[in-house]
Amino acid sequence: MQISITDDLKKRFHAACALRGLKMSHVVVELIRQWLASETQSSHDQSKTNNL
């Protein structure tokens, strides 16, 4: 996967990960998992609302 982000954003993200001893790729994977989980929950909640 490749993404385009500004140099400033990449530097800030790299620094934040380094301070915590984390690999950037691991943080990105976790963020994607969290986003997918929230999307799944959001879709489920919307489906329940539509069925009322």
**1-52 pLDDT, tens per residue?**
999 999 999 999 999 999 999 999 999 999 999 999 999 887 777 766 676 6
Q: Which amino acid is at 37?
A: A
pLDDT at residue 43, rounded to an integer: 73
Residue 13 lies in a domain: yes
What is the spatial distance between Cα 9 and Cα 33, in angstroms, rounded to a whole number? 21
Residue 19 lies in a domain: yes
Residue 10 CB coordination number (10 Å): 13
Q: Which residues of 12-43 are buried (b: 16+ CB within 10 A; e: fewer)?
A: eeeeebeeeeeeeeeeeeeeeeeeeeeeeeee
Residue 1 lies in a domain: no
Residue 50 lies in a domain: no
pLDDT at residue 9, rounded to an integer: 99
pLDDT at residue 42, rounded to an integer: 76
Number of domains in the chain: 1
Q: What domain range is 38 assigned to?
A: 7-43
Residue 49 lies in a domain: no
